[in-house]
């Protein structure tokens, strides 16, 4: 029997059944930060053969609900997924090409930003999107 992989361990620790699609999706997301669903589907199909769109969508939902994956969706963009969870980091997005990069927390611990008023909420996360132009697009002709 082969040794248990880190992905299998993560699934078991989250009390999730270990299935080939779940393992494949997590492995894709570990290799590709901020992957969109279509990219995940294509890579999972490359590894497993035929797998339905719905199966991948279901896996992404289950992994997100379990806290193993984070879903982000910048304005005007499709949903993206990443495995960097639990640290309340932020993102910078290129206005031209849509490239997304991680930005560590602005200050201190999560939620790392203090709202001017919390309206009685217990704030546990702050989501910030920084927008700009990436180095590759700045070098490209307009």
Query: Binding site: what residues are annotated?
Result: 94, 97, 109, 134, 137
Token pair belonging to 10 = 């993560």
**CA–CA distance from 72 to each of 9, 38, 52, 85 (Å)?**
24, 15, 22, 11
Query: What's the CA gap between 141 and 59, in Å, rounded?
Result: 40
User: 9-15 long-range CB contacts below 8 Å, 24 or more apart?
Assistant: 10/68, 11/68, 14/66, 14/67, 14/68, 15/66
Which pairing describes strands 100-103 and 70-72: parallel, antiparallel, or unpaired?
unpaired
Extract the annotated binding site for Fe cation.
Answer: 109
Extract the annotated binding site for Zn(2+).
Answer: 94, 97, 134, 137
Residue 17 — φ and ψ, nearest 5°? Answer: -65, 140
């Amino acid at each position: 029997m082969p040794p248990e992989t880190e992905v299998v361990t993560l699934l078991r620790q989250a009390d999730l059944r270990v299935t080939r699609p779940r393992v494949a999706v997590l492995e894709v997301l570990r290799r590709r930060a901020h992957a969109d669903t279509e990219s995940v589907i294509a890579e999972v199909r490359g590894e497993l053969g035929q797998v339905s769109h719905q199966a991948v969508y279901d896996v992404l939902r289950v992994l997100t609900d379990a806290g193993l994956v984070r879903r982000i969706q910048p304005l005007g963009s499709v949903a993206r997924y990443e495995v960097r969870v639990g640290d309340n980091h932020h993102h910078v997005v290129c206005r031209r090409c849509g490239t997304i990069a991680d930005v560590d927390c602005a200050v201190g611990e999560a939620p790392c930003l203090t709202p001017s008023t919390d309206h009685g909420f217990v704030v546990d996360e702050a989501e910030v999107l920084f927008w700009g132009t990436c180095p590759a697009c700045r070098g490209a002709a307009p």
